[in-house]
Each structure stands twice: as C-alpha cells, then as structure tokens.
Chains A and B, each alone.
Chain A
Amino acid sequence: MSSNIQLWAGSPDYLQWSRTQIMPFSEKRVQFLVRLSEVLLSGHYSAALTALGFWLRESQLRQWQQEYANDDKVILAPVGRVFIVSPSNVEGLFAYSWALSYLMGNQTVVRVSEQLTDDQRALFTLLESLDVQTAGLSEQAFISYDKRSDITQKLSHWCQLRMLWGSDQSIESIRQMPLPAQAQEWVFPDRYSVSVLHLTEADIPRIPKLAEGFARDVSTYQQQACASPKWVLWYQTDKTLQQQFWQAVDACLVGAFPANERLVASQYLCALGGVKVFYGNIKVIEASSILGGDQHLKGVVGQSQCSDLATITAQLPNHIQSVTAFGLDRAAKVALMTRSNVRQFAQMGHALNFDKVWDGIDLTTILSKKVRL
C-alpha cells in the first residue's frame, strides 16, 4: 500500500536508525533546544510558539537537568525509540512531548496531522534550519501520512514506546494495531476540564484579574483543548459575586467567539435542560449538573452551584482532567482528588500551560528508564 509519507523536518531513514549512545540531557541536545527557544523568543513568532520558546528556556532545562541528576544508585537512560502520535486540535502539543523525548536522548518519530497549521509550518521551517546548522535532528523525524497507510503498523513494530494523543476513537483505532510485548504504550485520550471557584466578599478586588485569567483559559484554542474549562462549579459563592465575575470575563472576551457558535452551544445546553443566566461575548448556562460534555461547544460555559465538596465530586465525569481552581486550600484539593479522577489542578489563567507532569503522568519519567547500578 502506498504510504504518502511527508517528512516535515528531521531525517527520513528512521526505520534504519542504528543504536546510539546519547544520554539524557546530552549537552548537544540541550544546546539545540536552547537555540530553538532563543529563536522562538525573538518576537517573530505567534503567542503559542513564543510560549513554547519560554517553556524551553535554558534556565528551565538546566533546572530539570539538576532535578534528574544521577546519583550513586540509579542512572537515567533513554527509552530508545519513541513513536508519538499527536492530535491536531492542540497543534503545539507535539512539540512539547517531542522536546521531552529528545531531551531524554531518544530517537523520535512524531506523526502530525496532514493539514499543517501556520504555527506548525513555522516551527518545522525553524527546526529544519537549525538542523542544517547543527545536524541536531539526525535521529528525529516529523512526518504525516494518510491514515490508511501501513506506516503506523511499521512504526508500532519499530518503537519501544508508543505515545498516543488524541480522541478516544482515534486511540482505539490505533490500538487495533498490535504492539510487540517489549514495547510500552502511554495514551492521552479525551478529557474534560472544569473550573472550581470559591469567591468571598474579600476576593472582590481580585475579580478582574481572575476573570482575565479565566478568559484566557477559555479563549485559547477556542475551548477545544482537553484542559480548557467548560463548566464552572461554584463552591459556596454568592450569586452577586458570580454575576460580577461574568461581567468581568465578558469584558475580556470581545469578539472571541463567533455569534453563531455561541448560539448553537447555548441552545444545545438549554435543550438538555440548562437555563441561560448570562448572555454576552460568552454565554453562561446554569444547570444542576454538568451537561453536554460529549460535544465540542464554543463560546459557552456551564455553571452549577455546589454547597459542599461532595456535590462537586459527584458531578465530575470519569475522564475529568484539569480543575482550574480558585479559593481551594490543599485539603479541599486533596478531598476532590481522592473522590474523583482529577488529574491536575491549575491556577486561573494557566489551564493550558503545558507541564512535564501532565494528565497525572511524569513524561520525563516515562520517556526514560532508571537503570539501577
């Protein structure tokens, strides 16, 4: 079967790469990422790519290097050959998991969607030019191919770690292809995220700042990322404060969502039993529990009122990922996570900031092995 493989950056001969002796945090690889970060931070790139550049800044990489320093009991080593399948809805995501795989010394093949976004094109162009200067990508490949191709199968046999990001449906479909017993697999399927907010009178001066953060969390990727909050669970919060919060959020979201998307989303939630309580640049629909979690709605946030933590956890779906929280102390967070599948908490405005511990998984750990001495 013809494969129609397109190579966007890196080297094409991945199925023939021979074994190398590169170790985690090899200086050459750190330098490559530092250079990448510097260019991305030069001011010529989009907000999303600039954020990637910031994430890969040298001080950060050096801090990780210290964090994972070898001791006299274990030495960190690469997994070896890593195959990453990345989703297209969060187009920058592949770069984060790839950078960690690269940093840990692996040979990596990343599959991206055939339809590149502008950001992806810009990033691949940059990676290619850095590769020409440094040959830093001689054991890395960024490819796309037709989904009917047999290349997924070939790469599944080639790799020692298969990492799948995407919808439940696409992950289940790729999982039809057997993985050899000696290979590991990690999956990052569909997730749902909410915000839990607890505001008191004393928080009134902070509302504008919180609202700005919330607006950023929902407008980035138009609410379509797994970690984008789709529902607000108000924990012991007065309704007038809620109204103030929504007014402040509204002011930050002028033009963020097309009117027709807001209409479709709010009508959908109303049809399921919700009631419109705020109507503006974002629509707020109230219901006694979370509705419409299986649809990808834009420009609408649901809300429900919770008098105690148990009513919060009772509402959280099994695939809950992030809780963007305000006003919860450590004990409250522990109570939420022990009674639900919450995988991470985030501060307001930081819901979509990628972290090497993501979805409850320490990516650096799974992309490396700890060799006992």
Chain B
Amino acid sequence: MSDWKSLEVFGLAKAEKQAWLLDELNRLTLHHQAHCAPYANLLAGQGQQARVAESLDAVPFVAARLFKMLCLSSTQPEDVFKTLTSSGTTSQVKSQIVLDRDTAALQSKVLVSLLSSFTGKARRPILIIDHDGLTGDKAGFSARGAGVQGLSFLGRDHTYALNSDMTPNWPVIDEFIAKYANAPVLIFGFTFMVWQHFIEPLIASDRSNLLPQALLFHSGGWKKLQDQAVSNDAFKTTVRQALGEGVAVHNFYGMVEQIGSVFVECEQGHLHAPSYADVIIRDQETLEVKNIGESGLIQVLSFIPKSYPGHSILTEDLGRLLGEGDCPCGRKGRYFEVLGRLPKTEVRGCSDVF
C-alpha cells in the first residue's frame, strides 16, 4: 500500500481512492477492535464482529456523541500524549479524544499537506484571529487550541490579532498590515470570531483593502452567523471589502473527533474530501446511504485516528452530497455542503432548574 504522502491531495480517482482508503480503514477497524474494549463490544453488540468491509459505506461507524459519553481509547495510558476536548459551552458535556504521539503528529502533517495545497509550499506570515495562550495546557487541550496550533505549522511570524478579552489588538494588527500589505499572507480563525472580532471591528474602524494578497481559512460552523443572517456569500463579500478584492476565502469543515482531515471549500464554494478522507451522507431516519443531490446526516471517514476509534464517525451535522470527481475546480473526489445541525430533540433529562 502506498504511503499517504505519495498521494496527491485531491488527485485520486474513485476506484484508486476506494482501494487505498478502504484498506486503511479496515486495518483501523481491526486495530481498534483489538485495542479498545468498548469499541470491540460495540461491534459485537451490533453483530459486526470480525467483518472486513467491502466498500467504504460498509465500514462500521460510531455515533459522534459516544465520544462525549465514554472514553474511547486504543492507547495505553502511559502512551497518551494529550487529550483533546471539544470546545462546547460549559454546560455541555465535552468530547474526549485521546492522542498518542504518532496520531498527533500525523494530524498536523496531514493538515499541513492538505491546506498547503491551497496556500502553496512557501510558509506565509500568519495572522491568527485569536489570542495567544490557547495552546499551553496539555491536559485540557481544547479543539480551538489544537486548530490554532495545527494551522500555525503552515505559517511563519505568528501574530495573534486579539487581546485575551477578545478585543482587536490594534497595534499588533496595524504592524502586521504595515509589514505585509504587499505580501501573500495567511489569516486563520474560527468563523464567528473572524466575523465578530476582526472583520466587523475593521470595517467599523474604516480600515479597508488592507491585506490584498491574503488567504483566509476559517472553520467552526455557521450557526451563530446564520442567527445574524450572514450567509457564506455575504461573509466573503464583507471580508473582501475589508481586506481586498482578491482575497481568497476558504471555509473548512472538520470536527474535534477527526482533527487533521478537514474538508476545504474550493473556489466554487464546495467542500472537498481529500484523498485521505471521505464523506458519506446517510438518511437521518433509516441511515441508508444517500446519492448525489440528496441530503442527510454526514458520516466522515479518515485514515488518521489510530489512538482512538474515530476513523468512521456519524456526525450530528446535516449535509448534501453535491457530486464526485466532476467539480469545475478540477479536484477529484466527493464534494458536498453542510446544511446545519440535526435539530436538537428537546433537552430534558437531567436538566433541571438549579
């Protein structure tokens, strides 16, 4: 089997990709079955033991919420390098993702290879729309911190744009702008933070056309912006108004349970599955596989997770499969869009007044 590094990020045709990814995933299923007892139980309890999947959609999946209810780990305690937690609000139970050194390293390497197919090999100066101080604490490593750290490998001259109270750090921002106004730079942040703590204040302060050669990566969901009726198009238009007409804006979709394999939006506005990962849309009632054009729950597949059984996860996000191998941008593989979260069934249970 060829090493992932030899694969072209968006260059595998359907059959080659099936062959490569399926083999990786089947190996991971067996690995986790042997090293994670709850995962082995889960397969056995569902009648899926000792089965080698013959197609990607036959790879057993784990419901994303299980990572919040159980510690699913295939790593010996002494080999745990760090534990990632989702950045949910404090009232929510957080996901716990156990990483060993190899998996953590693979996550960053894959992420860099994936994103640099958009940015080019040269390391650009990077403006991070967050505050410094997210990546320190290993034990309580947050997904936000991990995202920032993952992206930081792509850039140089890391500059944090915000103060710890989330207000723009103007002196730092202005210095960055002065230094790199005519250079290709990278900007990264979580969608809502980019909007609220960077773009809106920039516009309010009458700054415009500041970093015309920037490439902005942003991620983290549209929920809060949808509440403010900001669409992806409006977001892009406003970003370009503030930073420059030629600015490239790429949203990406990924989850804390599968850091490293992200689905980046192309110039057509489509989220693309890279060679190392894939996406399957399932009917939200029957869980049957859906076809191109249809919407349902998003299942994500990734060859990265070796330290925990997260190589095939059924998310609680809804999406629509848009096509495979034929996006006008030229990238191969599947492309899709995210439609939002599965409507929450009313929270009752332990929630009570106090």
Residue B314 lies at the interface, judged by CB distance under 8 Å to chain A:
yes
Tell whether B44 is near chain A: CB-to-CB under 8 Å: yes
Q: Does A261 contact B (CB under 8 A)?
A: yes
How many whole Å from A176's CB to the nearest CB in chain B? Answer: 10
Would you call A276 and B46 a contact (CB within 8 A)? yes
Q: Tell me if A88 and B62 are in contact (CB < 8 A).
A: no
A295 to B65, CA, bound (A): 12
Choose, from B188-196, B217-225, B283-291, the stretch at the interface: B283-291
Q: Is A123 an interface residue (CB 8 A)?
A: no
Given A271-B39, A296-B348, 4 more pairs with CB closer than 8 A: A173-B354, A270-B46, A271-B66, A296-B350
CB neighbours (8 Å) of A261 from chain B are: 345
Residues on A with beta carbons closer than 8 Å to the beta carbon of B314: 260, 263
- Whether B285 pairs with A86 at a CB distance below 8 angstroms is no
The answer to whether A221 touches B352 (Cβ under 8 A) is no
Write out, one digit per residue, whether chain A residues 4-37 have a CB within 8 A of any chain B CB (1) or not (0): 0000000000000000000000000000000000
A39 contacts partner chain B, Cβ-Cβ < 8 Å: no
Q: Is the CB of A264 within 8 A of B66?
A: yes
Which residues on A are within 8 Å of B, measured CB to CB?
85-90, 111-114, 144, 147, 152, 165-167, 169-171, 173-174, 190, 221-222, 224, 258-261, 263-264, 266-276, 285, 295-296, 298
Flag if A267 contacts B44 (CB, 8 Å): no
Option from A88, A165, A272 in Cβ contact (under 8 Å) with B351: A88
Greatest chain B CB density within 10 A among A88, A169, A171, A261 is at A88
- Cβ of B11 within 8 Å of any chain A Cβ, yes or no, is no
Using A258-B345, A261-B345 as known contacts, say yes or no to A268 and B69 having CB atoms under 8 A apart: yes
21 contacts between A and B (CB under 8 A): A85-B354, A87-B353, A166-B353, A166-B354, A170-B352, A171-B354, A173-B354, A174-B354, A222-B345, A222-B348, A259-B286, A259-B287, A267-B63, A267-B66, A270-B44, A270-B45, A272-B38, A275-B44, A296-B348, A296-B349, A296-B350
- Per the bound structure, the CA–CA distance linking A259 and B354 in Å amounts to 30
Instruction: Check: B42 CB closer than 8 A to any chain A CB.
Output: yes
A259-B284, A271-B70 known; A167+B46 contact, CB < 8 A: no
Which residues of chain B are near A263, meaning CB under 8 Å? 63, 287, 314
Please determine whether A260 and B297 come into contact, CB atoms closer than 8 angstroms: yes
Q: Which residues of B contact A (CB under 8 A)?
A: 38-39, 41-42, 44-47, 62-63, 65-66, 69-70, 72, 284-287, 297, 314, 316, 342, 345-346, 348-354
A268 / chain B contacts, CB cutoff of 8 Å: 66, 69-70
Which residue in chain A gives the minimum CB-CB distance to B70? A271
User: Judging by beta carbons under 8 Å apart, are A89 and B62 in contact?
Assistant: no
Asked if A89 and B350 sit within 8 Å, CB to CB, the answer is yes
**Chain B positions within 8 Å of A112 at CB level:** 353
Q: Which residues of A contact B297 (CB under 8 A)?
A: 260
Interface core residue of B39, B284, B351 (most chain A CB under 10 Å): B351
Q: Which residues of B contact A266 (CB under 8 A)?
A: 45-46
Whether A267 and B42, one on each chain, are in contact in the complex, defined by CB atoms closer than 8 angstroms, is yes
Given contacts A111-B353, A295-B69, contact A260 B63 (CB under 8 A): yes
Q: B352's contact among A113, A258, A273, by CB below 8 Å, is which?
A: A113
- In contact, B47 and A276 (Cβ under 8 angstroms): yes
Q: Which residue of A lies closest to B349 (CB)?
A: A296
**Chain A: CB-nearest residue to B68:** A264
